[in-house]
Chain A
């Protein structure tokens, strides 16, 4: 299929100015790739922070579930 498409499209004169054109387009794609890498790092940081917060909230739920702690909490609120 790809072979058929390539046979139909006009040949690109890459031997002359090809390196400059390729360079210009590579710059654009490198820019997008670098940005994606930065976003991936940020996303993993947010994921880690959310994991920590989930642990923290689970610990608080466990603490609240303890009988002594619940009574202590009710008296504080009263």
Chain B
């Protein structure tokens, strides 16, 4: 179910990533002030945008879960947030490297964009422990969805608040691609598409892996003659939707 279109998505991601790397290093001109160091912009900013978008998407999927009570939406929301956290970590590391090269410091505490991103990251870092703390799967998914919706609404608010702040030390990107030269804007957009495709592919891999695992468990239960689900240990991951296996041909059910 989840594996449908995975091959096409994977190939598109590899093509887009290769194209983006080619454009970054061999097409986009060197920036006048920062020179070669500015190339980090093409990896750091798309990572940040995709990561924040993933958090918001996680919230939207959680709304769907709360509306329908379908555990598949909870699984999608969980995977989107999980992947956004990884992309967020990469954003923080690449940003830190850029700060060191550009400003001479690994971290600058009086820079609102950096600190606000760290706050969002730390907020979402509590998502997994929250899930892990609740043993009952139904309550776990409901509370996690409420968290995802609330935190997902916080992300754009935080973004707007930083925009409205007076300090403009951090380079502006969204809404400002028109100020970039055409070759830089094109490279940035291709990089953004490549990172977004990478995010989508990894999410799809994760969902497919979880669904396959659930299918294998269901098959094991059937073959060992168990009718009820075995009690699962405490886990932060949501329970996969019940898997329906087709009746085996030529065999009577036990």
Chain A positions near chain B (C-beta within 8 angstroms): 9-10, 12-14, 16-18, 20-21, 23-25, 27-28, 31-32, 35, 39, 42-43, 46, 49-50, 52-53, 56-57, 60, 64, 73, 77
Distance in angstroms from B103 CB to nearest chain A CB is 11
Question: Beta-carbon contacts of B203-223 to A below 8 Å, as 1s and 0s?
Answer: 001000100110010011001
Distance in angstroms from A10 CB to nearest chain B CB is 7
Flag the segment in B58-66, B93-101, B125-133, B170-178 that touches A: B93-101
Contact A49 to B220, CB < 8 A, known contacts A24-B97, A28-B94? yes
**Looking at A13, A17, A50, A77, which has the most chain B CB atoms within 10 Å of its CB?**
A17
A-B pairs under 8 A by CB, number: 78
Contact A23 to B35, CB < 8 A, known contacts A53-B220, A57-B223? no
- Contact size class for B? 20 to 34
Q: When the two chains form the complex, which single residue of A17, A53, A77 contacts B35, counting CB atoms closer than 8 Å?
A: A17
A5 to B251, CA, bound (A): 63
Distance in angstroms from B203 CB to nearest chain A CB is 11
Contact assessment for B26 and A10 in the assembled complex, using a CB-CB cutoff below 8 Å: yes
Q: Chain A residues near B40 (CB, 8 Å)?
A: 20-21, 24
Question: Beta-carbon contacts of B160-187 to A below 8 Å, as 1s and 0s?
Answer: 0000000000000000000000000000
Q: Chain A residues near B101 (CB, 8 Å)?
A: 17, 20-21
Q: When the two chains form the complex, which single residue of A16, A21, A27, A53 contacts B90, counting CB atoms closer than 8 Å?
A: A27
